[in-house]
Structure 1
């Protein structure tokens, strides 16, 4: 009588488990932010916005890359030369000082970038 050999199936499952364990940290967002909650509905994401994030300590991130205020001003100037109608999406942790946000907005407006939006977390969806 023929017996079913489960050893190959166990080997495959262990390999898949190892792959999942290695890949799981890359699935989480790189910058952990505690966004303010609102009742506003989400607007469709056009995918063309430049994402600038601020963590609770006030560190600036341009598309997940940390940088200083001087580097940010340089990148904003380059962005304004390429596309003066570019949109900036600001993602600020709710513990971020408003002073830092105001400095970034002033730097963007000084370069002629006027399309600035803020990202929030929908209070109705989070439970």
Structure 2
């Protein structure tokens, strides 16, 4: 029969092991990994696409562009022609908005122009319901 022998220190208490046995945990994780690998469907390396059939649409002509420049003094230029005042801009925008296919508006403010002048032009464009608008010339601020 066995007999407990105390350590040389004489305390009499056996040492407690605080290590966690990770073998069952690793076994469970490996089983879960294998189950995951088995249940993943086989992926195809090709993509099936339903392409349209028929004749392609005819090439479209480039849209008409109206260039609205604003010089440092706040003068508005319509395709290079100076407009007298805000009413002249409003009448031009009204004419353009009434067209079946309105042109694109390219607003190009000078970098030294007051923000008020640019905001006035943009507000007039918005009031007329024109949506094809772009601010041109951001590269001048770089």
What TM-score comes out, normalization by structure 2 length?
Answer: 0.50
Structure 1 residues 101, 84: CA separation in 2 closer, same or farther (over 3 Å shift)?
Answer: farther
Per-residue CA distance 1:49-81 (angstroms, 9 max, x = gap): 210001111111001110121100000001000
TM-align CA RMSD: 2.1
The runs of at least 4 aligned residues of structure 1 exceeding 6 Å deviation read none
Q: Which has the higher contact order (CA 8 A, sep 6+)?
A: 1
Q: Does the CA contact (< 8 Å) of 1:52 and 1:89 recur in 2? A: yes
The structure whose residues are more often helix, as a share, is 1
| In structure 1, C-alpha distance between the alignment counterparts of 2:123 and 2:67, rounded to whole Å | 16
Q: What is the match of residue 50 of structure 1?
A: 66
What TM-score comes out, normalization by structure 1 length?
Answer: 0.56
1:114 aligned counterpart, secondary structure: coil
Which runs of no fewer than 5 residues in structure 1 stay unpaired?
A: 1-45
Q: Does the CA contact (< 8 Å) of 1:90 and 1:117 recur in 2? A: yes
